[in-house]
Chain A
């Protein structure tokens, strides 16, 4: 998947992964994809709920050896 930007939020605790995701998504264009890497397990539910409430689209997420990866399409 082609991401316009990759955000490394590994090692950061809640709320920083979402704070940084919000900032990063402000820096890409509508329709582009942001890839987020985090190690905060709480991010799975929170990013899903956040994208829904903000009109972005969570395309997919996966667990890559403890690193949670998300692909979010800007709405």
Chain B
């Protein structure tokens, strides 16, 4: 019996490899959130239905496919994988379970910057969160960092870059930001849009429309573009005149939902204004780098998530709704369920509550659910 790490599973997702997943969590949790891969097949049988043996399900598990047993934290998948091995099957279990799947970050290089420097995307494959690191001449800026802060600080150290600026495009409701922690650890400035930060309990730098921040001596500029809609303060960034970091406003195959701070009706108009006017005025050649992906089809061949703004104006349904009433209806009615513990997550990101790490993990379980399609 082997342990398979979240990183190894991520490689299989990116390379479109086959895998048969026996998920032994209860049906509710499985239906809510699972490991997604284009060529993955699934069988969901809760571990507690297998305590008397795995014989009843053996004929449902193909012998010619690699087999991975998955559970919430690892324990049950080890037990079931052992039983499968005893029954003569090769089986691996997911090391750390869905907990580690939720936390794994895969750094992918998106491209080079004009005057030297690089843009990296950190793909949180299990939850669909995307963070960014801009590196130029020994300096780094991070956008929408997740709470696994070591991944970012270690990566910057490996690249011999000093983290100077940390930004959040908005106050997140689906995951706990690592921005403040990284800033505290490194002495970097932590930037937040003030309209989203009215209730925060800590000091921050005010991120406002037109702000320009330089990274490295080659002066890679990060321009803030006020783009309300998902939250009232939502801000996008244009980096190096090449990339549009769109936060939770525009995704590859969907658009942001305006209701997670409780104001769907009010913000639907802002969202439309941002998408149909402010973004429309930007160059179609900008490469959009969103803060999330929702479905595995949004991943490019190298595992990154990006597309030209012009292409999105042609292909993203959310950018092509002519009738304002219909648009309003799409973004304020029949919305998907809210992310798990979204109110507590917002309060954590405001510094109002400080749950321990175990609690933070639990709050973040599940998909991000920040989009409407």
A24 at the interface (CB under 8 A from B): no
- Interchain CB contact under 8 A, A15 and B47: yes
- Interchain CB contact under 8 A, A16 and B75: yes
- Interchain CB contact under 8 A, B73 and A46: no
Q: Distance in Å from the Cβ of A37 to the closest Cβ of chain B?
A: 18
Residue among B26, B76, B362 making CB contact with A45, cutoff 8 Å: B26
Residue interface bits A9-52, CB-to-B below 8 A is 1, else 0: 00001111011001000000000000000000110011001100
A2 at the interface (CB under 8 A from B): no
Q: How far is the CA of A48 from the CA of B28 in the complex (A)?
A: 11
A65 at the interface (CB under 8 A from B): no
Task: Decide: A49 near B46, CB < 8 A? Known: A22-B51, A41-B362.
Answer: yes
- Interchain CB contact under 8 A, A53 and B73: no
Task: Decide: A49 near B28, CB < 8 A? Known: A14-B72, A15-B79, A42-B72.
Answer: yes
* B27 cross-chain contacts in A, Cβ below 8 A: 49
Q: How far is the CA of A22 from the CA of B73 in the complex (A)?
A: 20
Q: How far is the CA of A4 from the CA of B22 in the complex (A)?
A: 36
Is chain A's interface secondary structure helix, strand, loop, or mixed overall? helix
* A18 cross-chain contacts in B, Cβ below 8 A: 47-48, 51
Which of A14, A22, A49, A53 has the most chain B CB atoms closer than 10 A to its own CB?
A: A14
Residue among B49, B51, B73 making CB contact with A14, cutoff 8 Å: B73
* B294 cross-chain contacts in A, Cβ below 8 A: none
Q: Distance in Å from the Cβ of A54 to the closest Cβ of chain B?
A: 8
- Interchain CB contact under 8 A, B48 and A15: yes
B315 at the interface (CB under 8 A from A): no
Task: Decide: A14 near B28, CB < 8 A? Known: A19-B51, A46-B46, A49-B46.
Answer: no
Residue interface bits B17-35, CB-to-A below 8 A is 1, else 0: 0000000001111000000
B68 at the interface (CB under 8 A from A): no
B135 at the interface (CB under 8 A from A): no
Is chain B's interface secondary structure helix, strand, loop, or mixed overall? helix
Q: How far is the CA of A59 from the CA of B76 in the complex (A)?
A: 25
- Interchain CB contact under 8 A, A42 and B49: no
B71 at the interface (CB under 8 A from A): yes
Residue among B49, B72, B76, B79 making CB contact with A53, cutoff 8 Å: B49
Chain A residue nearest to B362 in the complex (CB): A41
- Interchain CB contact under 8 A, A53 and B46: yes
Task: Decide: A15 near B75, CB < 8 A? Known: A49-B46, A53-B49.
Answer: yes
* A19 cross-chain contacts in B, Cβ below 8 A: 51
* A49 cross-chain contacts in B, Cβ below 8 A: 26-28, 46, 48
Chain B residue nearest to A46 in the complex (CB): B26
Q: How far is the CA of A37 from the CA of B211 in the complex (A)?
A: 55
| 15 further A-B pairs in the complex, CB-CB below 8 A; given A13-B75, A14-B75, A18-B47 | A14-B71, A15-B51, A15-B75, A16-B75, A19-B51, A22-B48, A22-B51, A42-B72, A45-B28, A45-B29, A46-B46, A46-B48, A49-B46, A50-B49, A53-B48
26 contacts between A and B (CB under 8 A): A13-B75, A14-B47, A14-B71, A14-B75, A14-B76, A15-B47, A15-B48, A15-B76, A16-B75, A18-B47, A19-B51, A22-B48, A22-B51, A41-B362, A42-B73, A45-B26, A45-B28, A46-B26, A46-B46, A49-B27, A49-B28, A49-B46, A50-B46, A50-B49, A53-B46, A53-B48
What 5 A-B pairs come out closest when comparing CB atoms? Answer: A15-B76, A50-B48, A49-B26, A18-B48, A14-B75
